[in-house]
Amino acid sequence: MKRAFLLFASIIISNSAFGQKGFPLYYEMLALNNRADSLYKAKDFRNAAHYYDLAAAQKVEKAVPVRYEDIRYNAACSWALGNEPDSAFSRLEWIATQMNYANVDHLVQDADLFSLHNSDRWKKLVEIVQSNSENARLEADRYQRRTTFTGDEKEIIFYPHTEYMRHFLDNDSLPFISVNYGNFRMYFRGNSYSARHVPELEHKLSVAFDRILTVLDTNSYHMGINLILLDSAGELQQLTGYYVHGGMAMPGQSLAFFVFDSVRRGAFEHELFHYIANDCWHYSTSRLLNEGSAVYTDLTGNGCYYDNPIYSINAYMRKEKKLLSFDALINDFDNRARENEVIAYLESAAIFKYLYEQYGIRKMKRLWVEGFTKFENIYGFSISQLENEWMLFISKIAPPANMDWNMLMDNGCG
């Protein structure tokens, strides 16, 4: 069984307007996968396998690079535990031959699959996965040799386009031109709003870049990032299948998408923070921290209609009993965001802001990497104590005098 199923293997999808339900197909698959996980834990293996199969068959928005092989692998484990070896083998053989599944160590050590080991099909399956593993190692070594830069460390390095990047950057139906500015290679169509406002775009990127490095307490950053700039949410959806007014970052792909027009300011701080933080602070499994930090970086620089927006809006949400529990945000962020992105994102930003500003960057960097399971070791008190302390702090903040909740729900922070 793949115990840690990470749906967004190399994407952090966000939204400067928060309240847009930009990826409903993803949520449908997430619900199916979660249902399968629950049935697996309840040892209802055949029904779990059925729901994993449904999740594996559920297509999502074009921009979401889902690890379908993990879902099919989980289905195989459930079929094996449900005494359906043929069904288990068919899923495993598919990911081995069609998806180049290469984790041979996990395969042979997984207790869920022990019932298959005496079959003649098992040896052949292991041989295929072993071959995939060796090919993957050789390819990784070749790529590492070809792309390790040994020149001036101050140079901005742009790495080769991956197959997934080429899916968007080198397509024929929606071609782009590109210009370089600092760490950014900007792609847009020749008659776009971005093309007519390059100096403004460069200024916004420069301000965002400086703000991000300040939050991350980093003096320099030399990785190149590819940006695709679209004129509208509709154009973004045409390219990616994802409808959002802000943007999305794909750290594992050196790629980010933005809507940039006369109305939208561009979610540059938010999305680029996702990308750069994953390099400078390493990857965080916490969705609360990923989104809270990005919103904090964005709104501290750009605001959100009201003075002291992160804290004051949370003060309003506390007064109106709209806040979520810390447990919900820590352990079930995506489902809570599906119900109300405005609340989930802004409350997470306020939690990040409090920990970052009250207890310092050193502890935050540890929490970022080690996660909330190590919270008490890092901070010296429990999460429940944090929640009580944070609620007391928020209770002393004045809500906005003329709060327009409906506008915030409709437009997010612009």
pLDDT digits 0-9 by tens, 33-55: 999 999 999 999 999 999 999 99
Lowest mean pLDDT, pick from 25-34, 310-319, 405-414: 405-414
What's the rounded Cα separation, in Å, for the pair 64 and 221? 26
Mean pLDDT value of segment 373-385: 97
Decide if 237 is inside a domain: yes
Q: Are residues 196 and 140 in the same domain?
A: no
Decide if 157 is inside a domain: no
Inform me whether the pLDDT recorded for 18 exceeds 80: no
The pTM assigned to this predicted structure is 0.76
Inform me whether the pLDDT recorded for 69 exceeds 90: yes
CATH of the domain at 243: 3.40.30.160
What's the rounded Cα separation, in Å, for the pair 88 and 347? 43
Decide if 4 is inside a domain: no
Mean pLDDT value of segment 131-141: 95
Mean pLDDT value of segment 233-259: 83
Q: How confident is the model at residue 349 (pLDDT cuts 50, 70, 90)?
A: very high
Q: How confident is the model at residue 7 (pLDDT cuts 50, 70, 90)?
A: very low
Inform me whether the pLDDT recorded for 11 exceeds 70: no
Identify the CA nearest to 335 among candidates 39, 30, 117.
Answer: 30
What is the percent of the chain with per-residue pLDDT over 90, rounded to a whole number? 64
Q: What is the pLDDT of residue 2?
A: 67
Q: How confident is the model at residue 123 (pLDDT cuts 50, 70, 90)?
A: very high
12-13 vs 247-250, strand pairing mode:
antiparallel
255-259 vs 225-230, strand pairing mode:
parallel
Mean pLDDT value of segment 187-194: 94
User: pLDDT (tens digit, 9 = 90+) per residue, 75-108?
Assistant: 999 999 999 999 999 999 999 999 999 999 999 9
Q: How confident is the model at residue 17 (pLDDT cuts 50, 70, 90)?
A: very low
Decide if 220 is inside a domain: yes
CA angle 356, 391, 330 (to 5 degrees): 60
Q: What is the pLDDT of residue 61?
A: 79
Single out the residue in 266, 296, 321 at which a domain terminates. 266
Inform me whether the pLDDT recorded for 6 exceeds 60: no
Q: What is the pLDDT of residue 324?
A: 96
Q: Are residues 411 and 288 in the same domain?
A: yes
What's the rounded Cα separation, in Å, for the pair 352 and 384? 15
Single out the residue in 112, 147, 182 at which a domain terminates. 147
**What is the token pair recorded at 215?**
């939050």
- Do the beta carbons of residue 354 and residue 304 sit within 8 Å? no
- Structural domain range at position 113: 24-60+64-147
Q: Are residues 194 and 320 in the same domain?
A: no
Q: Are residues 178 and 228 in the same domain?
A: yes
Single out the residue in 213, 233, 266 at which a domain terminates. 266
Q: What is the pLDDT of residue 242?
A: 80
Q: How confident is the model at residue 320 (pLDDT cuts 50, 70, 90)?
A: very high
Query: Could you tell me where the DSSP H helices lie in 83-197?
Result: 85-98, 104-109, 120-147, 163-169, 193-196
Q: What is the total count of domains within the chain?
A: 3
Mean pLDDT value of segment 173-188: 93
Q: Are residues 141 and 112 in the same domain?
A: yes
Q: Are residues 243 and 324 in the same domain?
A: no
Inform me whether the pLDDT recorded for 373 exceeds 60: yes
Q: Are residues 248 and 131 in the same domain?
A: no
Average pLDDT for the chain: 89
Q: Are residues 355 and 385 in the same domain?
A: yes
DSSP string computed for 275-337: HHHHHHT-----HHHHHHHHHHHHHHHH-BSBSSHHHHHHHHHHHTT-PPPHHHHHH-HHHHH
Q: How confident is the model at residue 265 (pLDDT cuts 50, 70, 90)?
A: low
CA angle 125, 129, 133 (to 5 degrees): 165
Lowest mean pLDDT, pick from 80-89, 223-232, 349-358: 223-232
What's the rounded Cα separation, in Å, for the pair 321 and 397? 15
Inform me whether the pLDDT recorded for 29 exceeds 50: yes
What's the rounded Cα separation, in Å, for the pair 25 and 33? 12
- Do the beta carbons of residue 157 and residue 149 sit within 8 Å? yes
Q: What is the pLDDT of residue 414?
A: 62
Q: Are residues 179 and 245 in the same domain?
A: yes
Inform me whether the pLDDT recorded for 15 exceeds 50: no
- Do the beta carbons of residue 199 and residue 228 sit within 8 Å? no
Decide if 217 is inside a domain: yes
Inform me whether the pLDDT recorded for 217 exceeds 90: yes
Mean pLDDT value of segment 350-355: 98
Lowest mean pLDDT, pick from 15-29, 140-154, 195-209, 338-352: 15-29
Q: Are residues 260 and 286 in the same domain?
A: no
Q: Are residues 261 and 286 in the same domain?
A: no
Decide if 406 is inside a domain: yes
Q: What is the pLDDT of residue 280?
A: 93
Q: What is the pLDDT of residue 4?
A: 46
Q: What is the pLDDT of residue 211?
A: 95
Decide if 6 is inside a domain: no
CATH of the domain at 93: 1.25.40
- Do the beta carbons of residue 15 and residue 245 sit within 8 Å? yes
Inform me whether the pLDDT recorded for 16 exceeds 70: no
Q: Are residues 173 and 297 in the same domain?
A: no
Decide if 14 is inside a domain: no
